[in-house]
Amino acid sequence: MKPDVPRFLDVAMQHLMLHTGPALPPGYEQSSVSVLAILLAEVKLEFERAAARRVEENAALRALFADAAPEVADPGLRERLAAASRGADASLRVSDLESGNAELRALLVELHGHVEELDTSGARRIEDAIWSELVASTERRRIGIGAF
């Protein structure tokens, strides 16, 4: 048997919305079941895009580091950026991708602090690229049900 996660989530969501929720008395518990069903729809979306989003983001961060490294004044940071830019994801397992992403984001924070202290046009260009990537990263993580 091959588990079909999206199908399972659809069936669970429909059961909660069409059977469990209506069987409960109106009020908090019924509302909680409805919210749980909506969250299952978002889990389905995240399951579908989880690896792709992380691969895309890790690649974007590595490209940013490759571009930024020549502008960095600190030799140690410059070398770590260059090394990270040449890196690759350990696997397509979401946990491995997430771990790699956490390391890349920590380096991004360090890079951001560094370029904020530099007074060069290259540093401003890198800072703009960092902010653009942070906006793009937020968009990649957007969920379909609005603010929750």
Residue at 10 is within a domain: yes
Confirm if 104 and 85 have CB atoms less than 8 A apart: no
- Whether 66 is covered by a domain: the verdict is yes
How far, CA to CA in Å, does 22 sit from each of 8, 19, 29, 39, 128?
Answer: 20, 6, 10, 17, 51
User: Has this prediction a pTM greater than 0.85?
Assistant: no
* 145 found inside a domain: no
Give me the residue label for tokens 């989880």.
Answer: 50
Tokens at 108, concatenated: 């991004």
The residue assigned the tokens 């994801």 is 89
Is residue 148 included in any domain, yes or no? no
Q: Is residue 147 part of a domain?
A: no
Condensed to tens digits (0 to 9), the pLDDT of residues 79-112 reads 999 999 999 999 999 999 999 999 999 999 999 9
In a domain, 75, yes or no: yes
Residue 143 DSSP class: -
Q: Say what the pLDDT of residue 144 is.
A: 74
Start-to-end Cα distance in the chain? 35
Give the tens place of pLDDT for each residue, 27-45: 999 899 999 998 998 899 8
List, for residues 45-74, the tens digit of each pLDDT value: 889 999 999 999 999 999 999 999 999 999
Total domains in the fold of the chain: 1
Which tokens is 13 given?
Answer: 């969501």
pLDDT tens track for 10-27? 999 999 999 998 998 889
**CA distances (Å), origin 50, targets 30, 37, 57:** 30, 20, 11
Query: Is there a domain that residue 56 lies in?
Result: yes
Q: Is residue 53 part of a domain?
A: yes
22: containing domain: 5-140
